[in-house]
Structure 1
Amino acid sequence: MKTTLLSILLISACLNTYQAKAQLKSGFHYKILKQPKHGSSLALKYATVTKPKTGATTRTDEDRVLHSKKLRADVKPQGDTLMIDFWGITSNPDPAQNCATCVKAADLLGDHPDATGTKTYYYYTTVGKRKQLNTAVSYVSIPYAATEIGAATVPFKYRFGNTSKIVSNQLLSDISAGLYIGRKWGRTRFYADKERNHNSAAFTIGFMLSPTIISIDSTNTRNEVKTKSDEMGITTALATMYSYRDISFGLFFGADHPVTGRSGRWVYANKPWIGFGLGYKLSMLGGGKD
């Protein structure tokens, strides 16, 4: 699925961030909650699949509950089944030590071969399939957290002057682009038809760093510089973003810091600015899917 940003109110390329595709345990995880947002418990199952060297394969399922408010896990859809790979836990808080149906540190996972065959253990839950037209489509909503590393662009900047009006406020439409790293929190809705799976509302906070060109002349240096020149600077910014499905809104708080030559005489040196943008992902363009 190719991504295109719709220009809205002269805002272009405003939120060009790319989430790291590798959902590594260090950067991406879901949170399996004891009490999900919709108020009902997640129906966890613990499966034991027995594959003897001779004879038929059998499977037994046991109900499981969490001993803590939440546990981190990787979630992989397989049809209407969500395979849940919990991250490692080293201890069970009381009173879970004696809880027969709790998820515990000593639970077996994966393949365990022996002389008679192989036993495979895993956790899962299922998403209900709609069986009648008048039945609402079922889904499981699971919160996640992810680390994002990529590029971010700020199309609009509003610079603050001072109360004496010696330095006036300034609105710029210059696009600033730079390296972005942030942390994103949101929710994923899983359906029985995995083609319908999608992220819903999400909030991101991060940090942006980029080189910038500072053009100085007599008008923006209080006449201290007579000839125009382009100097190098560094832009730093705090980025906050809110997205819902395909719509994203970003708000950036930053400053431009002079580095070379006479850029230190620039009247907006190290002064704060606010940047903003609005983006839309047109999934119907390009026609393909990831």
Structure 2
Amino acid sequence: MKFTKMHGIGNDYVYVNCFEETVSNPSAVAKFVSDRHFGIGSDGLILIKPSDVADCEMDMYNLDGSQGAMCGNGIRCVAKYAYDYGIVNKTNISVATKSGIKYLDLTLGDDGKVSLVKVNMGAPILTSRQIPVVSTKEQVIDEPLNVDGTTYHITAVSMGNPHAIVYMDDLKDLDIEKIGPKFENHIAFPDRINTEFVKVIDRHTLQMRVWERGSGETLACGTGACAVAVASTLNGLVDEDQPVTVKLLGGDLQILWNRQENLVYMTGPATTVFDGEIDVSFLEK
């Protein structure tokens, strides 16, 4: 199987061009290639497939083999791959995902390859049952939640996948390996949850760490950064209709929630690390 290792500010995936390759057992392949000791090493596997409704389709799997609906950092890399490797020859493209078709604007670098991608991430979902989160409230905004004996206040947002946002004064000493799984598997979240722990720097800048369901702590989460910008607007912590810089472990993303359009826009880099080939035939028998 030929592959390309790519990352969006440290959120790394193994990408396979399914215009040319066939992956018959993607869940098993995802678990194998994601292993950082015995495989390639990644946060998961993303297949780039032909689509009848868009320029291409993104099919993503987390490192535990579970299928995801959407990945903001991943889709920027899909767009870069599609242009750089000749699947498309235009700088405004569409990508089909499990959470709908996304539209992307590509910025080229001096080498003629994609360096920056702006993604129309669509409208945030704020209704509890659609996220989903178990609550008596129609929307969960700054609501208390008992997790492992401690009460946190969460804001719930879906960007095609579910997020719980928690504001904290300190992220450096956060024991995310302990508390992350407690949130992920909490009874309030029927489909598990991605959890963003956020520190407000100022009204235009947020810092976050993320525990992703099925992957653990990652260096970046694009949908999470979008959810954080939305949640911070709802909680009055950032200026409405203004770009917000979200600082993640792997780098920065620029997020804008246009309230009039009710659309979230994410802008950030995409990077190719290397191309390779790996034998996965023993997984597909």
TM-score by length of 1: 0.25
- Bigger Rg, which one: 1
Structure with the higher helix share, 1 or 2: 2
Structure with the higher strand share, 1 or 2: 1
TM-score by length of 2: 0.25
